[in-house]
């Protein structure tokens, strides 16, 4: 947020010295988005830039006014009056602070502060840097900076990822155009400091980590100042008679502000674009600095950092040992104290936690403590018990879920559940491994060669989804017909039937035990990257879609109506190889751009999921090589069962009968041959083996061997 902070200071200075009115940023943003969709690019860019300036100016004004009014209307240090009633002493200061804030913000904003109360949706857009998504308009360098700024905070945004790749290939784009216009100084310094630390460059590490700590504490104060905003009503439908009284309302709002202040440490400890905060962000600075100062020979500052760290973890044995060492080296007479800024930080945080826990214990509510270092004695005993119960309950639920997944009921041994719905950030999703062996994958890949020569699908033509790939497909019926004509091995065609049936049983037992799943369609498919046409490619191998409904990303809906295959209930992909680039499966939100999970292909891996709107998915571009898999769709509706499969199974049964007849003839011939005394005996004493040719094939019938796929 370096540029944003500079912008804030400029705006704060400008509004302090001029009576100009600051237009509410939500109004400017709405007008800018309307202009964008009206293709009035110049107007859109102007309004969106003004919206960002207004947003920064509003935050700067609030911070500045709250700091100024703390000085002008302090709660402590005012003139004492013993006869003054306590209400006047307390609320008189509160009213003075409110009056100060109203006048200060009015001067800086040029309008009533209430005009700048944007909706939660608009506030969320600015927190997620959404305006920059629209600002790829004017000059190329500015467009690149806007795109990069948005992408840093939204790294899973699919369209922006493609835009970034496009910008990187443009000849007029320089590396320094990729600037984060909202960069946070403490994160830049922290990452640089950690890099120096890991490289044993301790002098440089000390400088950057000290900078990071200063900037982090400064950002923390800015965040805390913004917590003193209007009451955020969690229950908007609360009836009028349920409104709290004076003291209840004051207490509720104050506790809300305290909780917000406590959560600020998570905000500064969360890198833009990340979901989880870095644990112990402030204490970790002191821990790293203590060691770095020790390595460069500055034991005084090393001891100071160790003493500061002990304010968070007073019983930490390694740090206590280091403190003994430092006192010995510096002399017992040398005073070693924690940093004043850290003392203030810890004391204030503990005071706020104590008030919050009192409110939770006596007034109700919850509190998610952001710190790992909170002393155990600070938490009331009854809340400790509840916390332990919640932890045990959550642990038991996790164990129950894991146990349920372990016991299946999977119908085959050796299959592993690699990822479940929780790990894939969705519902009705799972990944199995070891469904096929390596030899089975090779046999099925041999069958895919027939798909390119005589298969169905698009017969090695360009894919219907992208001109950069060839698409080859083979249904189970076509595979059986090819085997009948002697074009492919019967055993390979049979393996296709067996592998798909094995997948069906696994998916049925996992998702719908006791309820029959029928095949809707089975397709052995390969996608091959077209050589010489991958440079500059921006599309997908298969666009994002849902399998039984028509996806509407803008309306956040999926319409279950024709031409969608509305009868499909579950889908699966059984991968056969991984010797290619790209081609992974990914899941998204309903917007089709926010990626929630990815699955990388490998031999024998089966990914399965429900076919509805809860699982939009697509396939990354195959940029090199050939990706082969068995695509599977299932339905609970018997009337929509795959008819080609029935015919294929009939051909297989017919083949089995013919093979049994051949085997019987062979046994009879062997028996009659063994009873004949005229058969010659080889020098080794073994009798010659009878060999017969298979109909439609010039290959010899070999003695039957136990193959890996016989597990079917």
Active site residue 627: yes
For 107-128, what is the mean pLDDT? 82
Residue 681's pLDDT is 37
pTM of the model: 0.54
The whole-chain average pLDDT of the chain stands at 82
Asked if pLDDT for residue 444 goes beyond 50, the answer is yes
What CA–CA distance (Å, rounded) separates 519 from 414?
A: 24
Degrees to nearest 5, angle at CA 280 with 275 and 282: 110
Work out the pLDDT band at 112, boundaries 50, 70, 90: confident
Work out the pLDDT band at 573, boundaries 50, 70, 90: very high
Work out the pLDDT band at 408, boundaries 50, 70, 90: very low
With respect to residue 188, please indicate whether it lies within any of the assigned structural domains. Answer: no
Q: Are residues 392 and 458 in the same domain?
A: no
With respect to residue 708, please indicate whether it lies within any of the assigned structural domains. Answer: no
Percent pLDDT > 90 in the chain is: 43
Residue 645's pLDDT is 93
CATH number of the domain encompassing residue 473: 2.60.120.620
Degrees to nearest 5, angle at CA 377 with 375 and 381: 130
Percent pLDDT > 70 in the chain is: 82
For 595-599, what is the mean pLDDT? 94
Last residue of a domain, one of 96, 112, 135: 135
C-beta neighbour count of 578 within 10 angstroms: 16
Asked if pLDDT for residue 691 goes beyond 60, the answer is no
Q: Are residues 452 and 383 in the same domain?
A: no
For 28-39, what is the mean pLDDT? 90
Q: Which of 34-43, 170-179, 381-390, 454-463 has the lowest mean pLDDT?
A: 454-463
Higher pLDDT, 147 or 246: 147
For 323-344, what is the mean pLDDT? 91
Q: pLDDT tens-digit profile of 625-645?
A: 999 999 999 999 999 999 999
Q: Are residues 218 and 335 in the same domain?
A: yes
With respect to residue 97, please indicate whether it lies within any of the assigned structural domains. Answer: yes
Residue 461's pLDDT is 53
Residue 2's pLDDT is 42
Higher pLDDT, 74 or 174: 174
What CA–CA distance (Å, rounded) separates 143 from 170?
A: 12
Q: Are residues 370 and 279 in the same domain?
A: yes
Residue 363's pLDDT is 86
Q: pLDDT tens-digit profile of 360-397?
A: 888 888 888 888 899 988 888 877 776 566 545 545 45
One of 66, 108, 627, 709 is an active-site residue; which one?
A: 627
For 25-33, what is the mean pLDDT? 91
**Which two tokens mark 208?**
């950057």
Q: Are residues 534 and 466 in the same domain?
A: yes
What CA–CA distance (Å, rounded) separates 514 from 512?
A: 6
Q: Which of 119-123, 576-580, 616-620 has the lowest mean pLDDT?
A: 119-123
Q: Are residues 430 and 384 in the same domain?
A: no
Most confident of 269-273, 404-408, 458-462, 694-698: 269-273
Asked if pLDDT for residue 161 goes beyond 70, the answer is yes
Which residue range(s) make up the domain with 426? 416-649
Residue 672's pLDDT is 62
For 91-102, what is the mean pLDDT? 82
| 396-to-368, 386, 401, 511 alpha-carbon distances in Å | 20, 15, 8, 22
With respect to residue 699, please indicate whether it lies within any of the assigned structural domains. Answer: no
Q: Which of 150-159, 190-199, 341-350 has the lowest mean pLDDT?
A: 150-159
Total count of domains within the chain: 3
With respect to residue 345, please indicate whether it lies within any of the assigned structural domains. Answer: yes
Residue 441's pLDDT is 95
Q: Are residues 348 and 450 in the same domain?
A: no
Q: Are residues 381 and 443 in the same domain?
A: no
What CA–CA distance (Å, rounded) separates 459 from 369?
A: 60
With respect to residue 130, please indicate whether it lies within any of the assigned structural domains. Answer: yes
Q: Is 456 helix (H, G, I), strand (E, B) or coil?
A: strand
With respect to residue 454, please indicate whether it lies within any of the assigned structural domains. Answer: yes
DSSP state string for 214-267: HHHHHHHHHHHHHTS-----S-TT--GGG---HHHHHHHHHHHHHHHHHHHHHH
Residue 242's pLDDT is 56
Provide the CB-side half-sphere exposure for 549 (13 A, CA).
18
Work out the pLDDT band at 609, boundaries 50, 70, 90: very high
Work out the pLDDT band at 286, boundaries 50, 70, 90: very high
Asked if pLDDT for residue 73 goes beyond 80, the answer is no
Provide the 8-state DSSP code for 700: B
Q: Which of 170-179, 184-193, 201-210, 268-277 has the lowest mean pLDDT?
A: 268-277
Work out the pLDDT band at 217, boundaries 50, 70, 90: very high
Q: Are residues 257 and 310 in the same domain?
A: yes
Residue 194's pLDDT is 94
CB 527 within 8 A of CB 621: no
Bridge partners (DSSP) of residue 599 are: 585
Q: Are residues 373 and 447 in the same domain?
A: no
Q: Are residues 537 and 563 in the same domain?
A: yes
| Torsion angle of C-alpha atoms 648, 651, 652, 653, degrees rounded to 10 | 120
**Which two tokens mark 600?**
């990388």
Q: Are residues 388 and 526 in the same domain?
A: no
DSSP state string for 402-451: HHHHHT---SSTT-EEEE-TTTTTSSSEEEEE-SS-HHHHHHHHHHHHHH
Residue 3's pLDDT is 43
With respect to residue 663, please indicate whether it lies within any of the assigned structural domains. Answer: no
Residue 90's pLDDT is 75
Residue 710's pLDDT is 34
Asked if pLDDT for residue 283 goes beyond 60, the answer is yes
Q: Which of 355-369, 443-457, 496-510 has the lowest mean pLDDT?
A: 443-457
Residue 690's pLDDT is 35
The residue written with tokens 């030899």 in the block is 439
């Amino acid at each position: 947020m370096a540029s944003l902070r500079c912008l804030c200071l400029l705006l704060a200075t400008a509004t302090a010295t001029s009576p100009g009115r600051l237009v509410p940023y939500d109004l400017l943003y709405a007008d800018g988005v309307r202009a964008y969709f009206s293709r009035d690019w110049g107007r859109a860019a102007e309004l969106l830039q003004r919206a960002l300036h207004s947003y920064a100016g509003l935050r700067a004004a609030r911070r500045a006014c709250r700091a100024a009014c703390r000085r002008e209307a302090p709660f402590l240090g005012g003139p004492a009056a013993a006869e003054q009633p306590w209400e006047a002493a307390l609320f008189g200061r509160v009213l003075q602070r409110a009056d100060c804030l109203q006048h200060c913000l009015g001067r800086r904003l040029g309008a009533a502060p209430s005009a700048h109360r944007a909706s939660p949706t608009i506030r969320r857009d600015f927190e997620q840097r959404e305006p920059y998504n629209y600002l790829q308009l004017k000059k190329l360098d500015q467009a690149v900076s806007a795109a990069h700024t948005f992408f840093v905070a939204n790294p899973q945004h699919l369209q922006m990822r493609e835009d970034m790749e496009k910008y990187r290939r443009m000849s007029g784009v320089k590396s320094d155009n990729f600037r984060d216009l909202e960069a946070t100084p403490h994160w830049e310094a922290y990452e640089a400091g950690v890099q120096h630390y890991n490289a044993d460059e301790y002098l440089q590490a000390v400088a950057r980590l000290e900078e990071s700590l200063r900037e982090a504490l400064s950002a923390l104060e800015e965040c805390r100042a913004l917590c003193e905003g209007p009451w955020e009503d969690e229950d908007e439908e609360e009836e009028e008679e349920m409104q709290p009284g004076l003291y209840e309302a004051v207490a509720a709002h104050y506790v809300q502000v305290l909780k917000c202040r406590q959560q600020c440490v998570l905000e500064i400890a969360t890198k833009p674009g990340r979901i989880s905060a870095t644990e112990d962000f402030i204490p970790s600075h002191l821990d790293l600095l203590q060691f770095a100062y020790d390595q460069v020979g500055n034991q005084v500052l090393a001891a100071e950092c160790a003493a500061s760290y002990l304010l968070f973890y007073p019983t930490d044995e390694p740090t206590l040992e280091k403190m003994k060492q430092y006192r010995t080296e510096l002399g017992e007479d040398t005073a070693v104290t924690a940093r004043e800024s850290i003392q203030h930080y810890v004391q204030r945080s503990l005071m706020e936690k104590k008030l919050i826990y009192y409110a939770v214990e006596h007034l109700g509510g919850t509190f998610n403590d952001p710190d790992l270092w909170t002393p155990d004695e600070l938490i009331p005993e009854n809340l400790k018990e509840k916390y332990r119960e919640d932890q045990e309950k959550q642990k038991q639920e996790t164990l129950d879920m894991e146990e349920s997944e372990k016991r299946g009921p999977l119908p085959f041994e050796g299959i592993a559940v690699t990822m479940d719905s929780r790990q894939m950030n969705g519902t009705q999703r799972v990944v199995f491994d070891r469904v096929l062996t390596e030899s089975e994958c090779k046999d099925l890949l041999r069958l895919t060669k027939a798909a390119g020569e005589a298969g169905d699908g698009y017969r090695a033509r360009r894919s219907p989804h992208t001109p950069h790939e060839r698409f080859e497909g083979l249904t189970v019926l076509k595979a059986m017909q090819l085997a009948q004509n002697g074009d492919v091995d019967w055993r390979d065609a049979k393996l296709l039937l067996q592998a798909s049936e094995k997948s069906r049983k696994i998916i049925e037992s996992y998702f719908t035990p006791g309820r029959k799943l029928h095949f809707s369609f089975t397709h052995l498919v390969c996608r091959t990257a077209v050589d010489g046409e991958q440079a500059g490619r921006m599309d997908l191998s298969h666009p994002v879609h849902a399998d039984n409904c028509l996806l509407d990303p803008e309306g956040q809906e999926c319409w279950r109506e024709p031409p969608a295959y509305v009868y499909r209930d579950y889908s699966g992909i059984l991968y056969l190889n991984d010797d290619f680039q790209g081609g992974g499966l990914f899941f998204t939100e309903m917007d089709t751009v926010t990626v929630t999970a990815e699955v990388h292909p490998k031999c024998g891996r089966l990914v399965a999921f429900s076919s509805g709107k809860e699982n939009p998915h697509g396939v990354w571009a195959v940029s090199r090589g050939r990706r082969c898999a068995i695509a599977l769709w299932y339905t609970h509706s018997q009337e929509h069962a795959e008819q080609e499969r029935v015919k294929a199974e009939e051909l297989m049964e017919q083949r089995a009968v013919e093979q049994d007849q051949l085997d019987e003839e062979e046994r009879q011939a062997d028996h009659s041959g063994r009873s004949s005394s005229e058969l010659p005996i080889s020098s080794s004493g073994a009798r010659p083996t009878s060999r017969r040719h298979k109909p439609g094939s010039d290959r010899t019938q070999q003695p039957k061997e136990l193959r890996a796929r016989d597990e079917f």
